[in-house]
Amino acid sequence: MADVRTGLLGWREHPDGTRDLVILADGKAQRLSHPERELSAELRALYEDESSELAGIEVDFEKVKAQPKRVRRRGEPWVAPAGGAHGGAGATTGPLGTVRTDVFANPYTFVPALPRPAASRLPPEAADFGDRAPTGHDRLAGDMWTGRIGVRMTVATPLLLLDTAAAQTDDKGHTTYGPLLRDGRIHLPSTAVKGMLRAAYEAVTNSRFGVFTGHDAPLGHRMSASAGLGMVPARVADDGQSLDLLTGTAPLGQRPGPQAVMYAAWLPAYPRFHRPEAVPIPTAQLPGRHAAKASVRLRLVQHHRWDRRQRIHIADFRYWRVTAIAFDDHKPGPPSAALIRATAPSDGQSWHEVLPDTRDEVGWVSVSNRNFSRKHDERVFFGAPVRRELTRQLRDGWTNLVNNYRDAHRHADIWGRRHGNRIVEPGEWLGSEPGKTAWSRHQYAEGAERLVPGDLCYARLDARGDVTALFPVMIARELFAASPRDLLHPSLRPADRFDALSPADRVFGWVDQRGPAGTDRDARADRSESAGSAGGGARQRAAYGGQLRVGPVNFASPEGGDGLDRFEPLGVPLAILGQPKPQQGRFYIAASSADAQTPLPDRTPRSAWYASGRALRGRKTYPHHVGLAPDYWSTPQQDRTQTADARGRYQEYRRPHQTPDGGQLTARRDAFVVGMTEREEQRDNQNRSVTAWVRPGGEFRFTLDVRNLSGLELGALLWLLRRPADEYHRLGLGKPLGFGSVHLDIDGDTTHLRRGDAWRRHYADFSAELPGENPDIPALAQAFEKAVATVWLGAPQLAAFRTAAQGDPTVSVHYPRVRPPDLDIRVAVPPDPRGQSFQWFVQNEQERRGTFTRAISLPRADGDPLPIHPAPEGRTGHPFAASGVFGRRPNP
């Protein structure tokens, strides 16, 4: 029975002006973590309006995992808010019980990477968790374990073993892969098995990261929309050593308000927002005019935003509009009639009221391209220059930022876009969908990472008016204060000395990530294993081969045949796989350097993500997809993405057919309308197709040869190899889509483990039988588990690993998605044929009056699932949304 309690709602104010909604009960005030999910429909409406009526309302609520849930007025039944809420309309009942339809499990989670104690602080039974030199290969240590472990690996969900060398790519950039075969049989490289085991071993032993390169520079994130208001247009002076701040007619550091005038003038540029006669420079000529000096004729315009709640227009700012322009010291002609014509307000849209003020100025044209869907204007920087020094720090910051922009995307994303049979230029507009808008010029222009005289940029100033950073666009990406490496505890960074190897380094091998020239990389040399400190002229050891080797991997299908399901000739178009986005701090960053398992508190400002005192969440892992219907993987060529199966799940691994423009819903409003023919299949450079996969039920067999492992080192390996029947490792490609769940078992008949002394006796007398017996395998695995709990209270890394290995049968696993406003609230949200996972993050980062309304972080592996956010209805309603100042920028 639910634990129902009674309390009062109230607001808790913070010094920075933000406030939280709390419940006062039992003499304590407890914050509501997710009011949009935890409040009833009526109370949520009051919360979204930030109504003062909420304070003092008497409520009933339920305690779930010590958190208040299902909050409603006292004595009233629970009514779930639109968009779904815990246990309300967003649930269906299937053979495995309740399946949540208002929430989802992210395709990846993290096994926490915790600070590692110094070897001197470890108890004797856990001493091998510390760093030391490996035992080596040159002799059998008497008290160490050596031998062979036989392993059976059974395929639980289809396994993608793909022949990347023989892949075929069409003129749309779409790649189709066949299976990896050798002599007509499925081929699983031993290195793939070793990589899977290495990743798992690192996680459960909390070893050092084996590889952590390319993470020394700070990442970037898109600044909040409100931060863009403080940006000041600037130009690198002709001397190359100074910046000229150009504030138009406004004073430097003006306060926002209805009569505040934006610094830069707006240059009408793009259809469908402007008719051709209203564009002073033809759109096709704009890129060639970037940074050009121009004479402009300006007209003042009052901008009014549309307030959806009050259904009125509200004046919020002013700007100068370019009505005529000329170059090469020519005078501009008469203003365009279309740009000075009075306009009438229209409900639901911003109103641009033309005022009588005019002026002529000289300025510089700033063109960043049509890089988001609602953009309609470029800018002209003008005004009396305010001189500032262009410091080395500002130059370096600019270079790092532009490089970060470029590193965030693949080269093919920018330079490999196609329109028909031709490859288009990065600055070309192909459409409003992500990837089709034009790329900003700093993403591709040669030399844009270096500031030279005449370059245009935006400057951020501090309270004294000093420039603190430079940006290529008004609402830009900015760099975090700390890099990922800064947030990785020193005890977890890759080992840089041979005598400081963690358990995974010793067992699976190690390479010095610094790669010093001239170091000895012979991993298996039999000379001194302890040459880690380069004394007596010896060179520093830079690599080690490890104490484990994976033998050849053999495959057998219990049903006979080759064990493959084939889908030739075209293959199955897989769903789009997301790219890692470590800059998304709410998913990758932990609250504290001392507690990597706790996510960032909700609503943490972006500036506080990669910052001193934080930590990385740990090692990424992929939850097993459990609770699927028996026919979930059947007939994958058939598009069933819009039809829920008997267990309320959709066909998440397949990409849906195309949908008509706008993403229409069916007449019953229970799914998206999609095509049915091959011509409407979505095969492009965003996804891949496969012509075969390894059928579930297939079995691989291999051996692990180990040499000189301590009891703890061997125990950790055995713990991984003898997981319960409902826990799975992940192997191969497509893991976020559910592919590659495998179960490991130890084959007792082919397992022969003995201590070094026993092997020496065996070799000494040439006996046919090995002396002694295999060790007590369960006891070694249990001793490892106990040692972990001794060093790290509660063994959080083992708990997270097991949670992911089991999966959650009540929650669908898929990339984030939003609920369309017209979709039937009683059904789960099907895969969107347009993709658009980014919409969830847009909704998650929404702000109102300078405060995040959601800003939810990725929960712990064993935490509550994530909510499916409601999609925006029409435009966002932000006062600058229609202006193009604040809009989503798929190609920033």
The set of residues, in sequence order, having a beta carbon less than 8 Å from that of 672 and lying 6+ positions away, is: 642, 656, 659, 663, 664, 665, 666, 830, 832, 833
Look at the block and give the residue holding tokens 């501009």: 332
Decide the pairing of beta strands 477-479 and 729-730: unpaired
Q: How far is the C-alpha of 766 from the C-alpha of 758, rounded, in Å?
A: 12
The arithmetic mean of pLDDT across residues 236-248, rounded, is: 96
Strands (E), 398-472: 418-419, 422-423, 456-461, 467-471
How far from 890 is each of 106, 304, 447, 607, CA to CA, in Å?
Answer: 22, 26, 23, 21
* Residue 637, pLDDT above cutoff 80: yes
Q: Is the bond preceding residue 453 a cis peptide, omega within 30 degrees?
A: no
Q: What is the pLDDT of residue 3?
A: 65
Q: Is the bond preceding residue 272 a cis peptide, omega within 30 degrees?
A: yes
* CB 593 within 8 Å of CB 487: yes
Share of the chain above pLDDT 90, in %: 62
Whether the pTM exceeds 0.75: the reply is yes
Share of the chain above pLDDT 70, in %: 91
Q: How confident is residue 545, by pLDDT bands cut at 50, 70 and 90?
A: very high
Strand partners, 304: 315, 351
* CB 164 within 8 Å of CB 721: no
CA neighbor of 268 nearest in space, from 384, 378, 406, 126:
378
Q: Render pLDDT for 838-852 as a digit per residue (tens, 0 to 9).
A: 899 989 988 877 788
> Could you count the other beta carbons within 10 Å of the beta carbon of residue 753?
21
Which of the residue ranges 324-333, 429-438, 469-478, 627-636 would you say has the lowest mean pLDDT?
429-438
- Start-end of H helices in 813-863: 838-844
Q: Render pLDDT for 163-214 as a digit per residue (tens, 0 to 9).
A: 999 999 998 889 999 999 999 999 999 999 999 999 999 999 999 999 998 8
Q: How far is the C-alpha of 271 from the C-alpha of 171, rounded, in Å?
A: 29
Q: What is the pLDDT of residue 525?
A: 37
Look at the block and give the residue holding tokens 């091959």: 678
Q: How confident is residue 83, by pLDDT bands cut at 50, 70 and 90?
A: very low
Nearest-Å Rg of the Cα atoms of the chain is 31
Q: How confident is residue 534, by pLDDT bands cut at 50, 70 and 90?
A: very low
**Mapped to the 3 state alphabet, what secondary structure does 661-689 carry?**
CCCCECCCCCCECCCCCHHHCCCCCCCEE
Q: What is the pLDDT of residue 865?
A: 93
CA neighbor of 19 nearest in space, from 43, 45, 54, 69:
54
Q: How far is the C-alpha of 801 from the C-alpha of 619, rounded, in Å?
A: 10
* Residue 111, pLDDT above cutoff 50: yes
Q: How far is the C-alpha of 165 from the C-alpha of 189, rounded, in Å?
A: 14
Strands (E), 237-382: 242-245, 265-268, 293-307, 312-327, 351-366, 377-382
Q: What is the pLDDT of residue 527?
A: 36
How far from 492 is each of 25, 130, 473, 802, CA to CA, in Å?
Answer: 42, 11, 37, 21
The arithmetic mean of pLDDT across residues 28-56, rounded, is: 81
Three-class SS of residue 199? helix
Q: Which residues of 777-813 are buried (b: 16+ CB within 10 A; e: fewer)?
A: beebbebbbebbeebbeebbbbbbbbbbbbbbbbbbb
In this structure, what DSSP letter does residue 246 have? -
Q: What is the pLDDT of residue 16?
A: 61
The arithmetic mean of pLDDT across residues 560-575, rounded, is: 94
Structure tokens at 476: 């830009």
Q: Render pLDDT for 580-631 as a digit per residue (tens, 0 to 9).
A: 888 899 999 999 888 888 999 999 998 899 999 999 999 999 999 999 999 9
Q: What is the pLDDT of residue 516?
A: 53
233, exposed or middle or buried, with CB in 10 Å at 0-12, 13-18, 19+?
buried
* CB 854 within 8 Å of CB 596: no
End-to-end CA distance of the chain: 51
Average pLDDT, the chain: 87
Q: How far is the C-alpha of 349 from the C-alpha of 716, rounded, in Å?
A: 63
